Amino acid sequence: MVWYGWERLYRLSILSGYGLGICLVLLANEKNFTQLKSMKLQLPILLLFCYCLSGCARKNNSDVPPSSATTTPTITINMPADSIQFAAMGDYGDASENEAAVATLIKSLNPDFIITLGDNNYNFGSASTIVGNVGNFYCDFIYNFDAPPTQQCTGIATTEKINRFFPSIGNHDYNYNYAYQPYLDYFTLPGNEVYYDFIWGPVHFFALNSDASDKSVQQNWLAEKLAASQSVFKVVYCHHPPFSSGGHGNELSMQWNFEGVDLVMAGHNHIYERTRKIGEELPIYIVSGLGGGYKRTCNQTPLNLDEFTTFCYDENYGTSFISASTSTMKVQFVSIDNVVIDNFEIVK
């Protein structure tokens, strides 16, 4: 139990950027200190641990990509089409039977491409697990020509030389030793790959890194991109939901100005949920976190129904499936037993 607590401290220290301070404060707690001493850890060793932890906290966890990411060939995607269909799911990459069932469902729906809502590679974002957690299920959609040779996909997307898989970063894609590098090495994505945009048919997509501790650069980037976009529909997606009744609740750091956006899609809470602010037609907030990781339940942190309308589902795994033309976007959630659980339209 003690070690579980210190693993959580490790993560908190990295995210906050104040590893040394947090560590020393917790050491000052008599109960914590006594427990650790019972593990025969002497004070000099504990202080050394705190110092090392502070170094981990100084690793790059901002919205600025690591320097190695900038060496990736810059890719832009603007695929002309009058209509498109795509799948969107998160919290999936655990190599489970449930992930396999969702992948089978998605392939049967025949989307043009897939966007993911984070947590692509459980549990620790490791290079050693990413093929098993992602590629073994979705390589027909992935064209990752600059990945390490043993990780490159050889499916349909590679034959076509067209990438059809556009992930966003989740907290489980962060590796304690290598930050986001295994993720960046594996996927071949537009821009700096940490956050990016692309256009496919009538929809402009904006993938964000909601796991970053400092999101200011991304916020400015998104505002500029939205102001310049001429697309009929705009979809923003990331891992942590601005609003949700799931166990993790709302992510305050993602409650941005989404004026002009049609859909804001996220995962993190392992449920499906559709939310809208009362008095605002758009955006519609979607949580689609039933991609394969263990299910959670709705209404663990209930939303204020004086402020939001909401629909929530937590009974089975599945995917969001969206089709868009130059006038209409149709959004569904489909369960792995091929039942349409939710269905709505946005008409321009």
Assigned CATH class of 67-347: alpha beta
Other CB atoms within 10 A of residue 28 CB: 9
pLDDT by 10s per residue, the chain, length 348: 333 343 344 444 443 334 444 444 444 444 444 444 444 444 445 444 444 444 443 334 445 444 444 445 568 899 999 999 999 999 999 999 999 999 999 999 999 999 999 999 999 999 999 999 999 999 999 999 999 999 999 999 999 999 999 999 999 999 989 999 999 999 999 999 999 999 999 999 999 999 999 999 999 999 999 999 999 999 999 999 999 999 999 999 999 999 999 999 999 999 999 999 999 999 999 999 999 999 999 999 999 999 999 999 999 999 999 999 999 999 999 999 999 999 999 999
- Tokens at 77, concatenated: 């995607």
What is each CA distance from 329 to 88, 128, 147, 233, in whole angstroms?
14, 38, 34, 8
SS3 55: helix
**Cβ-defined contacts of 296-301 (< 8 Å, 24+):** 296/246, 296/247, 296/269, 296/270, 296/271, 297/246, 297/247, 297/271, 298/245, 298/246, 298/271, 298/273, 299/245, 300/245, 300/246, 300/247, 300/249, 301/244, 301/245, 301/246, 301/247, 301/248, 301/249, 301/250
Start and end residues for every CATH 3.60.21.10 domain found in the chain: 67-347
What is each CA distance from 56 to 8, 68, 148, 235, 297, in whole angstroms?
13, 18, 25, 34, 33
Is there a cis peptide before residue 65, judged by omega within 30 degrees of 0? no
CA distance 65 to 273: 30
190 contact partners, CB below 8 Å, separation of at least 6: 74, 75, 76, 77, 196, 197, 198
What is each CA distance from 260 to 182, 230, 241, 264, in whole angstroms?
34, 11, 18, 11
